[in-house]
Amino acid sequence: MAGLRVRLHDDVRVGQGLTRGARMLRLDPRARDLLRQREVDASSPLGEALVARLLDLDLAVPILTQDGPFSLADVTVVVPVRDRAAGVDRLLARLGGRLACVVVDDASRDSAALAAVVARHGADLVRLPVNVGPAAARNVGLRRVTTPLVAFVDSDVAADPADLEALLPHFVDPALAAVAPRVWAEAGARWFQRYERSAGGLDLGPVPAAVRPWSAVAYVPSACLVARVDRLGGGFDGGLRSGEDVDLVWRLLSGGHRVRHEPGVVVAHEQRPTVRGWLGRQLFYGTSAAPLAQRHDTQVAPAVLTPLQAALLVSVPLSRGRGRWSTVALAAVVAGQVWRHASGEPAPERARLAVAALGGTSRQGAGLVLRHAAPLTIALALVSRRVRRTVMVVAVAEGLAAWSDGDRQTDPLTFVAARRASDVAYGSGVWWGAARHRMLGALLPHVVRRPRRRS
- pLDDT score recorded for residue 350: 81
408: left (phi over 0), alpha (psi -120 to 50) or beta: left
Contact 106, 137 (CB under 8 A): yes
- Burial code of 233-251, b = ≥16 C-beta within 10 A, e = fewer? eebbbbebebbbbbbbbbb
- pLDDT score recorded for residue 453: 46
Residues 6+ apart with CB under 8 A from 194: 188, 409, 410, 414, 418
Report the distance separating Cα 31 and Cα 39, nearest Å.
11
- pLDDT score recorded for residue 16: 78
Contact 85, 160 (CB under 8 A): no
Spans of all domains in the chain: 5-62, 72-271, 304-447
Report the distance separating Cα 122 and Cα 130, nearest Å.
24
> pTM for the complete prediction?
0.91
Is 72-271 a domain of CATH 3.90.550.10?
yes
One-letter identity of residue 400:
L
Contact 13, 27 (CB under 8 A): no
Residue 231: alpha-carbon gap to chain centroid? 20
- pLDDT score recorded for residue 113: 95
- pLDDT score recorded for residue 455: 40
261: left (phi over 0), alpha (psi -120 to 50) or beta: beta
* Average pLDDT, consecutive stretches of 10 residues, N- to C-terminus, the chain (455 residues): 85 86 83 86 90 94 86 97 95 95 96 96 96 96 97 96 96 96 92 91 93 93 97 94 95 96 96 95 95 93 86 75 68 78 77 84 91 94 89 94 84 95 96 92 84 45
